[in-house]
Amino acid sequence: MIGIVLVDDHDIVRTGIRLILDSDPNMRVLGEAADGDQVLELVRRVKPQVVVMDIHMQRVSGIEATERLHQACPEVRIIILTMQGSGSLPRRLLATGAVGYLSKGCPAHELLECVRATVAGRTFIGADIAQQMAQSMLSGAKQSPFESLSAREIEVSMMLIRGKRLAEIAELMHLSKKTVATYKYRVMDKLNIEGEVELARLAQQFGLIEAPMPY
């Protein structure tokens, strides 16, 4: 039996995914989380083989949650299931620790196939995602400036976009405020921007967030 945890901030989406997964007699959803900050505790408690993760969530994003989960529980197979399939995100998440990447528009059988493949030790990229990645490479599309950031710098960026202050970020990441300030400086310098508003606009342009965050 393949144990699975679902992570998505929309109840109706989790319900639909659960129905698909539960249709396979060899799969069982062991738990659900509505935000990335709940994932690690849930995974440690129910011990799934697979986590199906959304990217765009309100508090801790799937990008941050994937990195943290992979570092803490490298044996867990992480599948990204999201609306965002273009830009640098697939490459970034696969490099961070994900082993599967699907769009929410994929057919049900592809999700089941992805779960089986990743548990068997293979990397699985949905057909539409693979096509978008290939087209991006062949067309010479503009490379995302976020490619230049480390995973930790992206994590700080996402928290800044959500309006968190340096002290809050330092507490969440178990770092000093001075270290977080250094990460912020590096982000602004690498992206050639001056503040959080520009950071949010750039993140939307290159697919790291779905819509501008309120200020």
89: Cα within 13 Å, side-chain hemisphere: 30
Asked if residue 104 and residue 149 are part of one domain, the reply reads: no
Is 164 within a domain? Answer: yes
Please give the tally of structural domains in the chain: 2
pLDDT at position 4 over 50: yes
Residue 22's beta-bridge partner residues? Answer: none
| Percentage of the chain exceeding pLDDT 70 | 86
Encode pLDDT of 63-101 as tens digits. 778 888 998 999 999 999 887 555 566 777 787 889 999
Asked if residue 107 and residue 135 are part of one domain, the reply reads: yes
What is the pTM (predicted TM-score) of this model? 0.76
DSSP 154: H
Asked if residue 170 and residue 82 are part of one domain, the reply reads: no
Q: Which amino acid is at 152?
A: R
- Of 100, 121, 139, the residue at which a domain comes to its end is 139
Encode pLDDT of 101-159 as tens digits. 998 888 999 999 999 999 999 999 988 777 666 666 555 556 778 878 877 788 788 88
Asked if residue 108 and residue 122 are part of one domain, the reply reads: yes
Is 58 within a domain? Answer: yes
Mean pLDDT of 8-12: 89
Report the alpha-carbon distance of residue 21 to residue 3 in Å, rounded: 10
Asked if residue 117 and residue 48 are part of one domain, the reply reads: yes
Is 210 within a domain? Answer: no
Asked if residue 134 and residue 150 are part of one domain, the reply reads: no
Q: Which residues contact 153 (CB under 8 A, 6 or more apart)?
A: 183, 186, 187, 190
- 49 neighbors 119 (Cβ within 8 angstroms): yes
Residue 100's nearest CA partner among 204, 2, 206 is 2
Mean pLDDT of 44-67: 85
Question: Distance from CA of residue 99 to its chain's centroid?
Answer: 12
Is 104 within a domain? Answer: yes
Range of the domain at 29: 2-139
Is 214 within a domain? Answer: no
Asked if residue 154 and residue 77 are part of one domain, the reply reads: no
- CATH number for position 162: 1.10.10.10
Asked if residue 132 and residue 171 are part of one domain, the reply reads: no
Report the alpha-carbon distance of residue 87 to residue 154 in Å, rounded: 15
Is 213 within a domain? Answer: no
- CATH number for position 24: 3.40.50.2300
pLDDT at position 62 over 50: yes
More confident residue, 4 or 204: 4
Tokens of 123: 């990397």
Q: How many helices (H) and strands (E) does the chain have?
A: 10, 6
Radius of gyration of the chain (CA): 17
Is 13 within a domain? Answer: yes
Asked if residue 57 and residue 37 are part of one domain, the reply reads: yes
Is 31 within a domain? Answer: yes
Tokens of 215: 């200020």
Report the alpha-carbon distance of residue 206 to residue 170 in Å, rounded: 26
